[in-house]
């Protein structure tokens, strides 16, 4: 793929070249390169400790890189702060629920709108249109919602800042199968709204069914990359083992 002077390939929203991350003396990522076009989805797969969450944290500015470049929406964001990256439209939803349990659903959503100067009510109504169950529970404390509903609220909070790309880090972790369906349906609604998704997911087959492209990380390096529909069961078992290929 050719790149322009900004480092972004034609049609690319996020482009990463030779990204490296080090925690003290230990290196966690080695020369990782990815390309996420506008309104597409990338599945990031790998066993525990492969470097998946480190990649997410590096892309969102939470950990510094020690090599490589990150371009987002045509800009070099490699050294940007997490706040500046989020305001540019790259939103990281970390592992866990990402909500304020002692606040109501409505208060959680309003918290995400604190920097928005206008159109707040329109943003809220749009969130409730996408996730009707949140509208029904707008006065309910977030901590009393089911796990799937809390993940839905986390996604709705991300929508409040009109993201261009969302990094969904293990959002189905620990959820019952029916609630996993809720998470995937919610991410599908985000894609329908034109938002690109980088999905870090334990359910490899589900992630591949959702994504356009995929990479497999092992010990901080990309060991396979290609179209999601080309990653068959044999490949998954070879790289991930039976426990994470389901």
For residues 31 and 201, the answer to whether their CB atoms sit within 8 Å is no
Task: Give Cα separations from 237 to 26, 45, 69, 121 (angstroms).
Answer: 28, 12, 31, 48
99-124 pLDDT, tens digit each: 899 999 999 999 888 766 566 788 88
CATH number assigned to the domain with residue range 12-240, chosen from the 4 options 3.40.50.1100, 3.40.50.720, 3.40.50.300, 3.90.76.10:
3.40.50.300
pLDDT, residue 230, reads 93
Q: What is the spatial distance between Cα 241 and Cα 246, in angstroms, rounded to a whole number? A: 9
Q: What is the spatial distance between Cα 199 and Cα 42, in angstroms, rounded to a whole number? A: 6
Q: Average pLDDT over the chain, rounded to whole?
A: 87
- Pairing relationship of beta strands 165-169 and 196-200 according to DSSP bridges: parallel
For residue 238, give every residue at least 6 positions away whose Cβ sits within 8 Å of its Cβ, in sequence order, or none: none
183-239 pLDDT, tens digit each: 888 889 889 889 999 999 888 889 999 999 999 999 999 999 999 999 988 788 877
At 97, the pLDDT band (50, 70, 90 cuts) reads: low
């Amino acid at each position: 793929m050719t790149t322009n002077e900004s480092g972004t390939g034609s049609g690319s929203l996020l482009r990463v070249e030779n990204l490296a991350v080090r925690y003290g003396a230990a290196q966690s990522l080695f020369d990782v390169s990815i390309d996420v076009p506008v309104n597409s989805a990338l599945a990031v797969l790998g066993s525990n400790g492969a470097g998946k969450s480190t990649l997410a944290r590096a892309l969102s500015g939470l950990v510094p890189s020690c090599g490589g470049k990150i371009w987002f929406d045509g800009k070099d964001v490699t050294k940007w702060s997490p706040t500046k990256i989020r305001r540019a439209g790259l939103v990281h939803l970390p592992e866990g629920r990402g909500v304020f349990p002692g606040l109501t659903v409505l208060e959680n959503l309003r918290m995400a709108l604190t920097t928005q100067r206008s159109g707040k009510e329109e943003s809220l109504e749009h969130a409730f249109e996408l996730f009707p169950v949140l509208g029904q529970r707008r006065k309910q404390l977030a901590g009393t919602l089911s796990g799937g509903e809390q993940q839905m609220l986390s996604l709705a909070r991300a929508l409040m800042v009109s993201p261009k790309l969302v990094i969904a880090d293990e959002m189905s972790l620990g959820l019952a199968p029916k609630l996993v369906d809720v998470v995937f349906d919610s991410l599908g609604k985000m894609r329908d709204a034109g938002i690109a998704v980088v999905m870090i997911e334990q359910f490899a087959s589900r992630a591949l069914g959702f994504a356009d492209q995929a990479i497999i990380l092992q010990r901080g390096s990309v060991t396979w990359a290609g179209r999601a529909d080309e990653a068959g069961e044999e490949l998954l078992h070879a790289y991930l083992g039976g426990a994470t290929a389901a």
